[in-house]
Structure 1
Amino acid sequence: MTIEGELVLELPHPPSVVLAAASPHLFWKITLLLIAWLNLHYHLPHLTCTLILKITRHILIGLTVLAPDEKVAGSLNTVFNHLEIKDNFDIHPVCPICHHVYPHNSQGDAKCLNCSEPLFEPSASRTKPRPHLQCPQNPLSNAILHLLSHAGIEEELDAWHCHVPEPGKHALIQDGELFFDNSPERPDKDELCIGITLGFDGYCSSSAMLYSLLIVDLRFGYQYQPRNLMVFGITPGPKEFDSDELQFFMKNYVDNLISLYENGIMAKTPNYPNGMSSIRMILVAICCDNPVLCKVCGFGGHRKEEGFCTRCHIKRSELKTRDAMDYDKFPPQYGEEHTKRAQEYLDLDEKEHEAFFKLHSALYFELSRLKYFDPVCMSVIDPMHSFLLGESTCSLCCHYSHQLLVSNDGMLSFRSSFYLICPFDQFEMPNWVGCLPEQVGYPAGGSLTSDEWKGLALVFCPIVIPFLWQEWYPKANTTYEKALTSWENRERQRLIRLTTGKPKKGDDKPSMKPVPQMHPSAPDNFLKLAAALKIILGRSFKDADIPRAKELLRNYLMEYLELYSDNVKPMHHWVTHIFDQLQDYGPVYNFWTFLFERLNKVFKSYSTNNHSNSEIEVMFMRAFQKDVALCDMVRDILCIGSDPHSSFSLRI
């Protein structure tokens, strides 16, 4: 429909309307949902679904629940049709050579405009041939309409207006300095602005990349509900796109963002049955690990001598210096300058790209077309990867867990003593704290998740490590002194043999000098990190806490550089910029990638059904949308008679 010349979009039917139209009988509604759920999660064959539907129909007729002449679903496809579960995304053909992405309605004989490669497989039996390579994309306007179809979501998107900020305290992303203006005093109060953060990460062995969005307007409890998770698209495998190829995939996304920011859309919603004035969307931040962030925003990457940091002009050769472990010691990068370099890169001939990138460490990126986007301030190296899978891993795994639990050079006896001193299973922890596997440090214990690393760094190890050092440091130091004395004797004998002209095989090189396995200051160094993380990773923080956190983190990094200079990584410098990000976006809970990683885990739970090439990405997108629709309908049935905003409904 149109209002005063403006196109007003219709929302999809909400779950309650879909279920009411599917059947008037509660038992049959549950049967439809059960069949669809079993097929999606347990791969129930189509014929088996048909058989169950027929048997259940006859049972319900015998119980007089269904009338004999009543028409009901008799096959799996009919079940999906009755539940209005269908593909709500576009499938775009992708050139298998240069990876340019083409419109979803391309003709079957279309060829790549760049390399003249056919986009579709030749087929005489299909109405439309299958693309050689394809990627699913869900337009943002379509995702917004499905989001707004849920009861109460409009109020939730605007609920943060009631938030009264406490001076000097940061609890929500709205308390940060870079959040967009959606205040009640805005000119058009009926305009709804939706802020999103972008996450981009690999999720399966085919090197496909999942492009997901987090709605920052919503409260934490609502953000993690499946129906509020937004997936724009999935890049096809089997090889991961490089930075230039990734921009072809992102073009449609940026086109959507520009349209939704400048023009917006109008839609009929429960609060505005005649059409609301406008719905707009804005990108607040990009948050992912460094390699992907550099691809998305055109930075050089951690291997480059120039520009390996996205925030300042530090050189790679300066990494193992005290300035690199401190704050504001290098000239800052500026978003305008980087965007200008990106445009210069685009204007060059393709043969000149490599030399330009080597000189300036800048590539073209599609997000530079957003007028409000600052690639330096709005690009965040994920704190989860930096601290929980970076700093904590280096401090614990490489220097505590590795030396005490894994090494085979005389320290193997420490492994069992680690549990005798303070067994992890004797800790009593709340349900919301990540539980550790029984055999931490053993291969059988498996790798730790971010939640488990967080619990290890903030709870378990601050208690265990001091006792461990108190018990074992004297013995480790005795072992080290004996090994050092033995090495000195061997070296003395080697030099004597070389002097007398009677060398043995291998005397041309000195043997490896033993190093201490336990440093006396290591526990204090780790406790500084744990104390800093207690503030940095908090759900909220006060401005008065930041100087203490900066001091703790600086002291930790400086001591780490002295103790383990050979193990200093780029992320040891990147974390020095975390306080700028906290100032811009508030607590890390507002922008780190826990939600995106949770979404990756959901995708990995779907079966590939022996699909190959780019069919697997389409199948994953289809399964996810089915999963969200089914969860929403199950929630609607379970919440019958209860408040949809109650704690019970939120848990569902």
Structure 2
Amino acid sequence: MPAQLESSDSESEASVQSESADLIGIHPLPYIRCLIYLVAVLHTKHHASYQECALILKALGFILRRLPGNLLTGDEDDIPKTLTTVFNRLGLGDKFKIHPICHVCYRIFTGDEGTTFCPTCLVEIYRPRGRQLFRRLFGAGLGGDDNEDDLGFNPQRTPNLVQPIQSLADGLREFLARPGMVDAINKWKTRQVDPDELKSIQDGNAWKTVKGPDGRSFFFHGDSGNEIRLGLSMSLDWFSKKTSSYGPSHSSGVLSFSIQNLEDSLR
């Protein structure tokens, strides 16, 4: 028994140390961490734009540097200046890979094959390099950027159209790796059901009658033998070019999946 208590105390101490290291990794100063959390919430919950978040970060950073008491000194004088940096500090970056696509036939390219023209439509996948003619002719002697070639071109070309993609398999793998998600998925099996009320998708006939490959009910409340049986729904939201600030010259759509095993608040 004492050995078990000692082990439990060690695990608890290790957990606290790990949590402290994670917080310091965000920023060593607690009031700067609060600023980072504030900006993240303003964007995710209240839809503050990237520019607005950057303005908040820069303005509050300017104020903190000029307050008495040397609040920011040395290496601690490292306040994020953009929302992208805030997301990176909090580990909130998305898992999508950006693929260039043909703006005529919408064929998807990996971006790694070196293709610049769509072989079907014979149109260019990437925009022309945005350099002025004077730069193109004389850029080599004008002290151009380090990432420009000898003619003053930027080798990083921008696609005409892109498609952010995360495969369903990769998304599920990342989701199931989160602590507590497996238990959350299986929680529906023990929920109390009122036969006279429909409160969730699990109360409907489709959930109760859909068959698996073996001919038996795919979803069941009994022992599943440690199997995770997921019910996925697919949604498609489409935005016209007049309502989407991200696609001013074309419409855009978002294809998403939801795990129906979860409670409504977690889907």
User: Shared fold by TM > 0.5?
Assistant: yes
Counterpart selection for 1:94 from 77, 101, 117: 101
Aligned equivalent of 2:258: 214
Deviation at 1:90, TM superposition (A): 1.2
Deviation at 1:95, TM superposition (A): 1.1
- 2-side partners of 1:144 and 1:44: how far apart? 33
Deviation at 1:217, TM superposition (A): 0.5
Aligned equivalent of 1:416: none
Matched, 1:140 2:168: yes
- 2-side partners of 1:182 and 1:208: how far apart? 35
Q: Greater relative contact order (Cα 8 A, min sep 6): structure 1 or 2?
A: 1
Aligned equivalent of 2:52: 44
- 2-side partners of 1:157 and 1:179: how far apart? 19
Deviation at 1:148, TM superposition (A): 4.0
Q: How many residues align?
A: 204
Deviation at 1:216, TM superposition (A): 0.3
Aligned equivalent of 2:124: 118
Secondary structure class of the residue paired with 1:99:
coil
Pair 16,186 (structure 1): closer, same or farther in 2 beyond 3 Å: farther
Q: Give the RMSD, CA atoms, in angstroms.
A: 3.6
Aligned equivalent of 1:162: 190
- 1-side partners of 2:211 and 2:198: how far apart? 13
Q: One-letter code of the match for 1:31?
A: L
CA offsets 1:229-261 (integer angstroms, 9 cap, x no match): xxxxxxxxxxxxxxxxxxxxxxxxxxxxxxxxx
Counterpart selection for 1:56 from 47, 59, 64: 64
- 2-side partners of 1:215 and 1:161: how far apart? 14
Aligned equivalent of 1:504: none
Secondary structure class of the residue paired with 2:91:
coil
- 2-side partners of 1:81 and 1:176: how far apart? 42
Gaps of 5+ in 2: 1-17, 130-151, 213-217, 243-249
CA offsets 1:555-601 (integer angstroms, 9 cap, x no match): xxxxxxxxxxxxxxxxxxxxxxxxxxxxxxxxxxxxxxxxxxxxxxx
Query: Contact (CA 8 Å) 1:93, 1:119: kept in 2 or not?
Result: yes
Aligned sequence identity (%): 21
Pair 58,113 (structure 1): closer, same or farther in 2 beyond 3 Å: same
Q: One-letter code of the match for 2:38?
A: L
- 2-side partners of 1:54 and 1:141: how far apart? 44
- 2-side partners of 1:192 and 1:110: how far apart? 43
Aligned equivalent of 1:196: 232
Query: Contact (CA 8 Å) 2:188, 2:261: kept in 1 or not?
Result: yes
Q: One-letter code of the match for 2:33?
A: K
Secondary structure class of the residue paired with 1:147:
helix
Aligned equivalent of 1:409: none
Q: How does 1:519-534 map to 2 (within 5 A)?
A: none
Pair 38,173 (structure 1): closer, same or farther in 2 beyond 3 Å: closer
Secondary structure class of the residue paired with 1:136:
strand
- 1-side partners of 2:111 and 2:181: how far apart? 30
Deviation at 1:111, TM superposition (A): 2.4
Structure 1 range deviating more: 87-96 or 202-211 = 202-211
Q: How does 1:533-544 map to 2 (within 5 A)?
A: none
Point out the structure with max Rg over C-alpha.
1
CA offsets 1:396-426 (integer angstroms, 9 cap, x no match): xxxxxxxxxxxxxxxxxxxxxxxxxxxxxxx
Secondary structure class of the residue paired with 1:210:
strand
Pair 58,87 (structure 1): closer, same or farther in 2 beyond 3 Å: farther
Pair 24,158 (structure 1): closer, same or farther in 2 beyond 3 Å: farther
Deviation at 1:182, TM superposition (A): 4.9
Aligned equivalent of 1:177: 209
Deviation at 1:126, TM superposition (A): 3.2
Pair 179,186 (structure 1): closer, same or farther in 2 beyond 3 Å: same
Counterpart selection for 2:112 from 105, 113, 117: 105
Query: Contact (CA 8 Å) 2:99, 2:165: kept in 1 or not?
Result: yes
- 1-side partners of 2:186 and 2:194: how far apart? 19
Deviation at 1:157, TM superposition (A): 0.9
Aligned equivalent of 2:25: 21
Deviation at 1:218, TM superposition (A): 0.8
Deviation at 1:125, TM superposition (A): 3.4
Deviation at 1:159, TM superposition (A): 0.3
Pair 48,67 (structure 1): closer, same or farther in 2 beyond 3 Å: closer
Query: Contact (CA 8 Å) 2:117, 2:124: kept in 1 or not?
Result: yes
Secondary structure class of the residue paired with 1:32:
helix
- 1-side partners of 2:112 and 2:223: how far apart? 43
Gaps of 5+ in 1: 1-13, 224-652
- 2-side partners of 1:152 and 1:38: how far apart? 27
- 2-side partners of 1:182 and 1:193: how far apart? 7
Q: One-letter code of the match for 2:90?
A: L
